[in-house]
A = this chain, B = another copy of it.
Amino acid sequence: MQNTLLVVGSVAYDCIETPLDSADFILGGSSSYAALAASFFCPVKVVGVVGNDFKESDIQRLKARGIDISGLKFDESRPTFFWRGKYHENFNSRDTLDVRLNAFEGYSPELKPDAKKSKFVLLGNISPEIQTAALDEVEQPEFVILDTMDLWINTANSQLKDIVKRSDLLILNDSEAKLLSENKNLICAGDILRKMGAKSVIIKTGEYGAMLFHESGFFTIPAYPVRTLHDPTGAGDSFAGALAGYIAGAGKTDFETIKKGMLVGAATASLTVESFSCYKLEETGLEEINRRRQYIETITKI
């Protein structure tokens, strides 16, 4: 029987403005991106909460990818977590114009009996408090992948460091790695984060790729070369989701499997950024993911 991946994180509605386009109330949140990405590689269960404005069409989108949403709480009293953001010229930076926790305010995850038996857990980007509460409910996790962001490094540092110690694979981007490790050399930052207790560490470097720090060695991949960036939102979440899904699907957690998972993650993330939400990813699916992952292998081969 194939392993299921348990995905913890946010489910959100996003209003996004980019230099090219804008979209209102599209499905977002770390958990949505990660679960959709992972669903191409293994069965996925989502834990989280949505509000009274959550659309039937989005429920159908998740179900169409076979995602088990029985762990998704429907809070009839409040709307879904909401984020409004605007990307600046060249997508190099973004402003958060509005953020409303809504249904996530005071939410604490409760796992169904079958979810508690999960072996593979992705703690997507959300507060370390919710990540910890969810992980505490998993009886015997075998491989815990932890994602985070600068907000939690700055506002929940000690709680974050506690859960870093429980992670088998910590994923963060370059500026977050420097911030959390308090070291400005990325290579040293990766070493330090492993010393802080993460068994292995992936530092994402955006358009440049990603680096893996593992007890078996160091590894790098380039990003898939994207010529038509549409919306970078969710790139990191879908990288983590596809990687976690690949690992769970393979049922192996060794260095070689993580390397292959990074390729899959980079291929999947490149599809995410070529449309709003995961529209292009859902449309093109596994065939295009595999084409891109092979292409990434090609462009690194001597």
Which residues from chain A sit less than 8 Å from chain B, CB to CB? 89-90, 184-188, 191, 205, 207-209, 211, 217-222, 225-227, 229, 256, 259-260, 263, 297-300, 302
Q: List 24 A-B contacts (CB under 8 A).
A: A89-B184, A90-B184, A90-B185, A185-B226, A185-B227, A185-B229, A186-B207, A187-B225, A187-B226, A188-B227, A191-B227, A205-B208, A209-B220, A209-B222, A211-B222, A211-B225, A217-B298, A217-B299, A218-B299, A219-B300, A220-B300, A256-B302, A260-B302, A297-B302
Docked complex Cα distance between A9 and B222 (Å): 32
Q: Given the complex of chains A and B, what is the CA–CA distance between A208 and B221 in angstroms?
A: 10
A238 to chain B, nearest CB (A): 19
* Given A300-B300, A302-B260, A302-B263, residue A220 in contact with residue B218 (CB < 8 A): no
CB of A269, distance to nearest CB on chain B (Å):
15
Q: Report the Cα distance A205→B205, complex, angstroms.
A: 11
The 9 tightest CB contacts between A and B, nearest first, are A208-B208, A220-B222, A90-B184, A187-B225, A300-B300, A187-B227, A218-B299, A220-B299, A219-B299
User: Which residue of B is nearest A225, CB measured?
Assistant: B187
Instruction: Give Cα A191 to B225, complex, Å.
Output: 12
Q: Report chain B residues within 8 Å CB of A297.
A: 302
